[in-house]
Amino acid sequence: MSDDKLRVSIGLDSAPPLSVRLTAAQLKTLQDALPGGGWTDVEGEDAQVHLNLDKVVFIRIDKDEPKIGFGL
Protein backbone atom coordinates (compact mmCIF):
# COMPACT_ATOMS: atom_id res chain seq x y z
CA MET A 1 0.00 0.00 0.00
CA SER A 2 1.10 3.51 -0.71
CA ASP A 3 2.08 6.15 1.85
CA ASP A 4 0.06 8.77 -0.07
CA LYS A 5 -2.50 10.50 2.12
CA LEU A 6 -6.21 10.26 1.35
CA ARG A 7 -8.65 13.02 2.28
CA VAL A 8 -11.18 11.36 4.56
CA SER A 9 -14.30 12.87 6.13
CA ILE A 10 -15.73 11.02 9.12
CA GLY A 11 -19.40 11.81 9.67
CA LEU A 12 -20.44 11.83 13.31
CA ASP A 13 -23.86 11.66 14.96
CA SER A 14 -24.87 15.20 16.07
CA ALA A 15 -21.55 16.81 15.05
CA PRO A 16 -20.00 18.24 11.90
CA PRO A 17 -17.81 15.87 9.87
CA LEU A 18 -14.21 15.44 10.94
CA SER A 19 -11.68 15.87 8.10
CA VAL A 20 -8.40 13.98 8.31
CA ARG A 21 -5.67 12.85 5.95
CA LEU A 22 -4.88 9.14 6.31
CA THR A 23 -2.79 6.56 4.52
CA ALA A 24 -4.62 3.66 2.90
CA ALA A 25 -3.38 1.42 5.73
CA GLN A 26 -4.70 3.81 8.40
CA LEU A 27 -8.07 3.99 6.62
CA LYS A 28 -8.29 0.18 6.45
CA THR A 29 -7.50 -0.06 10.18
CA LEU A 30 -10.30 2.42 10.92
CA GLN A 31 -12.78 0.61 8.67
CA ASP A 32 -11.90 -2.76 10.25
CA ALA A 33 -12.45 -1.33 13.76
CA LEU A 34 -15.93 0.10 13.00
CA PRO A 35 -18.01 -3.07 13.54
CA GLY A 36 -16.60 -3.51 17.05
CA GLY A 37 -17.59 -0.01 18.17
CA GLY A 38 -16.03 1.56 21.23
CA TRP A 39 -13.13 3.99 21.20
CA THR A 40 -10.08 4.05 18.92
CA ASP A 41 -7.24 6.42 18.10
CA VAL A 42 -6.93 7.83 14.60
CA GLU A 43 -3.48 9.24 13.82
CA GLY A 44 -4.00 11.93 11.19
CA GLU A 45 -1.39 13.99 9.37
CA ASP A 46 -1.46 16.84 11.88
CA ALA A 47 -3.39 15.51 14.90
CA GLN A 48 -4.31 12.41 16.83
CA VAL A 49 -8.05 11.92 17.41
CA HIS A 50 -9.63 9.69 20.06
CA LEU A 51 -12.80 8.64 18.21
CA ASN A 52 -15.99 7.00 19.51
CA LEU A 53 -16.79 4.52 16.73
CA ASP A 54 -20.39 4.16 17.98
CA LYS A 55 -21.03 7.77 16.78
CA VAL A 56 -19.65 7.31 13.22
CA VAL A 57 -22.43 7.45 10.62
CA PHE A 58 -20.30 7.60 7.43
CA ILE A 59 -16.78 7.66 6.06
CA ARG A 60 -16.20 9.58 2.84
CA ILE A 61 -12.97 9.15 0.86
CA ASP A 62 -12.40 12.05 -1.52
CA LYS A 63 -11.04 11.32 -4.96
CA ASP A 64 -7.95 13.31 -5.90
CA GLU A 65 -9.06 13.99 -9.45
CA PRO A 66 -7.87 17.23 -11.02
CA LYS A 67 -10.66 19.76 -11.58
CA ILE A 68 -10.63 22.72 -13.93
CA GLY A 69 -13.18 25.53 -13.94
CA PHE A 70 -16.27 26.10 -11.88
CA GLY A 71 -19.07 23.64 -11.13
CA LEU A 72 -17.24 20.49 -12.10
In tens, the pLDDT along 25-54 reads 999 999 999 999 999 999 988 789 999 999
Q: Is 69 inside any structural domain? A: no
| Contact call for residues 51 and 33 (beta carbons, < 8 A) | no
Q: What is the pTM of this model?
A: 0.79
Q: What is the largest CA-CA distance in the chain?
A: 43
pLDDT at 58 over 80: yes
Q: Is 28 inside any structural domain? A: yes
Taking the C-alpha atoms of residue 70 and residue 30, their distance in angstroms, rounded to an integer, is 33
- Of 3-7, 50-54, 60-64, highest mean pLDDT: 50-54
Q: Is 13 inside any structural domain? A: yes
What is the average per-residue pLDDT within 10-32? 93
- In this prediction, residue 1 carries a pLDDT of 44
Task: List phi, psi (to 5°) of 47.
Answer: -160, 155
Q: Residue 11's domain spans which residues?
A: 6-61
Q: Is 67 inside any structural domain? A: no
Domain total of the chain = 1
Q: Is 43 inside any structural domain? A: yes
Q: Is 40 inside any structural domain? A: yes
